[in-house]
C-alpha cells in the first residue's frame, strides 16, 4: 500500500517565509540598490555602478580596521572556546541544586545588555573608583585604557571573554549531557585515561555544539559595536575602532548612504566567507577522524 503524502503542511510555513522576506530579503535588496546609487536627497539619485565598492576596497582606514577586527575575533575564539570547554568539563552533572545554581550563575552575564556591559567595565577599569584600575595602581602597574592603546584593546577583549564565555560553556555542557553513560562505562572497562575519554568520546560528541559556538562567537565578535563604543569610543586613536563603528560613522555621521551600503555588503560577504571557512574546517576535521 502506497503511503499518502499530505503536502498541505507546507502552507503552515508560508508566514515564516513572509516574515523572513520582510525582515531580511527586502532590506538586503534595498541595500544593494543603494550601493550602486549616488543619493543627494529624496528622489535625487543617479547610477554610479561599482564606484562605491572601489572606494571601499581602496580605503586604507577600512583595511586597518579589518586587520584589527580579524585579530580581535581570532583572539576571542582562541580564548573563549577552550575556556568554555574547560568550564563545561568542570561543571557538576545530574539533577541537583548545585547544578541548577551553576547554570544560573553562568547565565547571568548573558542577561546583561550590551551597553550596560560597556558601562560596567568603563567604571570597573577606572583608576580612581574602579576595582580593576585601583588594584593595578596598588600593585604598581600603570593601567589606563583611555590613554594606552594596548590596555584599551586588552580591556575590550577581556570584557568580551567575561560576557560571552558562558555561552560557550553552556553549549558545551549541553553536548556533554547528551553523551550516553554507556560510553563512559565502556571507557572505564578499557582503562581509558581522562585525556583519552575527552579525545575520543567527549570532544567528538561536542563537535556539533562547537560548530554552533564557533560560528556564533565569530559572527558576534566580528560585528561587535556597542561594548567598545561605550567603553572607549573607538580610542585611544583608532585602536578599538572596528568595522561596525566605521560603518556607523559612514552611514550616520557622514550620511554617505551609497558608500555605507557598499561597505555593508562587503562586510556581510567577509563574515559569510569566514563563517564558511570555520564550518568547513571543523566538519572536515570530524570526517577525517571518523576515517
Which residue ranges make up each domain of the chain? 60-290
Q: From 98, 109, 93, 97, select the one nearest 174 (Cα to Cα).
A: 93
- Measured CA to CA in angstroms, residue 63 lies from 58, 92, 146, 184, 225 at distances of 8, 45, 24, 49, 17
DSSP states of 121-164: HHHHT-TTT-HHHHHHHHTT----TTT-HHHHHHHHHHHHHHHH
> Could you tell me what percent of the chain has a pLDDT over 90?
13
Confidence band (pLDDT; 50, 70, 90) for 81?
very high
Is the distance from CB of 185 to CB of 252 less than 8 angstroms? no
Which three three-digit cell numbers place residue 80? 573563549
For the chain, the maximum distance between any two Cα atoms, rounded to a whole number of angstroms, is 83
Task: State the residue for C-alpha cell 581602496.
Answer: 58
The answer on pLDDT for 288 being more than 70 is no
Mean pLDDT for 207-212 is 87
Higher pLDDT, residue 163 or 5: 163
How many Å apart are CA 139 and CA 183, to the nearest integer?
A: 49
Mean pLDDT for 52-71 is 86
- pLDDT value of residue 290: 56
- pLDDT value of residue 82: 93
- pLDDT value of residue 286: 60
CATH topology (fold) of 60-290: MetI-like fold (1.10.3720)
Mean pLDDT for 68-73 is 91
Confidence band (pLDDT; 50, 70, 90) for 76?
very high
pTM for the model: 0.83
- pLDDT value of residue 6: 67
Report the range of poorest mean pLDDT among 208-212, 215-219, 231-235.
231-235
Catalogue the long-range contacts made by 177-185 (C-beta closer than 8 Å, 24 or more residues apart).
Answer: 177/93, 178/205, 179/205
Report the range of poorest mean pLDDT among 129-138, 197-206, 254-263, 278-287.
278-287
pLDDT tens digits, 163-179: 999 999 999 998 888 88
Is the distance from CB of 257 to CB of 76 less than 8 angstroms? no
Mean pLDDT for 10-24 is 81
Catalogue the long-range contacts made by 260-264 (C-beta closer than 8 Å, 24 or more residues apart).
Answer: 261/31, 261/32, 261/33, 261/34, 261/35, 261/52, 262/35, 262/36, 262/52, 262/53, 262/55, 262/56, 263/52, 263/56, 263/62, 264/31, 264/35
- pLDDT value of residue 223: 87
Confidence band (pLDDT; 50, 70, 90) for 2?
low
Which three three-digit cell numbers place residue 33? 540598490
Which three three-digit cell numbers place residue 113? 545588555
Confidence band (pLDDT; 50, 70, 90) for 291?
low
- pLDDT value of residue 1: 53
pLDDT tens digits, 132-144: 888 888 888 888 8
CA dihedral 131, 133, 135, 141 (to 10 degrees): 170
- pLDDT value of residue 46: 76
How many Å apart are CA 85 and CA 206, to the nearest integer?
A: 9
- pLDDT value of residue 71: 92
Confidence band (pLDDT; 50, 70, 90) for 289?
low
Mean pLDDT for 35-50 is 76
Residue 234: CB atoms within 10 A of its CB come to 20
Average pLDDT value for the chain: 85
Q: From 72, 239, 225, 71, select the one nearest 149 (Cα to Cα).
A: 239
Amino acid at each position: 500500500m502506497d503511503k499518502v503524502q499530505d503536502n498541505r503542511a507546507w502552507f503552515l510555513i508560508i508566514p515564516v517565509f513572509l516574515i523572513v522576506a520582510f525582515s531580511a530579503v527586502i532590506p538586503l535588496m534595498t541595500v544593494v540598490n543603494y550601493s550602486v546609487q549616488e543619493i543627494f536627497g529624496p528622489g535625487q539619485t543617479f547610477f554610479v555602478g561599482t564606484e562605491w565598492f572601489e572606494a571601499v576596497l581602496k580605503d586604507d582606514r577600512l583595511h586597518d580596521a579589518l586587520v584589527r577586527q580579524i585579530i580581535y575575533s581570532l583572539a576571542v575564539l582562541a580564548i573563549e572556546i577552550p575556556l568554555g570547554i574547560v568550564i563545561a568539563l568542570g561543571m557538576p552533572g545530574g539533577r541537583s541544586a548545585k547544578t541548577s545554581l551553576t547554570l544560573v550563575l553562568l547565565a547571568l552575564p548573558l542577561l546583561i545588555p550590551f551597553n550596560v556591559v560597556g558601562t560596567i567595565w568603563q567604571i570597573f577599569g577606572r583608576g580612581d573608583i574602579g576595582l580593576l584600575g585601583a588594584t593595578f595602581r596598588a600593585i604598581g602597574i600603570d593601567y589606563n585604557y583611555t590613554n594606552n592603546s594596548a590596555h584599551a584593546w586588552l580591556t575590550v577583549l577581556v570584557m568580551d571573554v567575561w560576557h560571552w564565555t558562558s555561552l560557550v560553556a553552556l553549549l558545551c555542557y549541553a553536548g556533554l549531557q547528551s553523551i550516553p553513560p554507556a560510553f563512559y562505562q565502556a571507557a572505564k572497562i578499557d582503562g581509558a585515561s581522562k585525556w583519552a575519554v575527552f579525545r575520543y568520546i567527549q570532544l567528538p560528541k561536542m563537535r556539533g555544539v562547537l560548530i554552533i559556538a564557533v560560528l556564533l562567537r565569530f559572527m558576534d565578535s566580528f560585528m561587535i559595536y556597542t561594548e567598545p563604543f561605550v567603553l572607549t569610543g573607538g580610542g585611544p586613536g583608532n585602536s578599538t575602532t572596528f568595522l561596525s563603528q566605521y560603518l556607523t560613522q559612514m552611514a550616520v555621521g557622514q550620511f554617505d548612504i551609497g558608500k555605507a551600503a557598499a561597505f555593508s555588503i562587503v562586510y556581510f560577504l567577509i563574515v559569510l566567507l569566514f563563517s564558511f571557512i570555520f564550518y568547513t574546517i571543523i566538519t572536515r576535521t570530524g570526517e577525517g577522524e571518523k576515517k
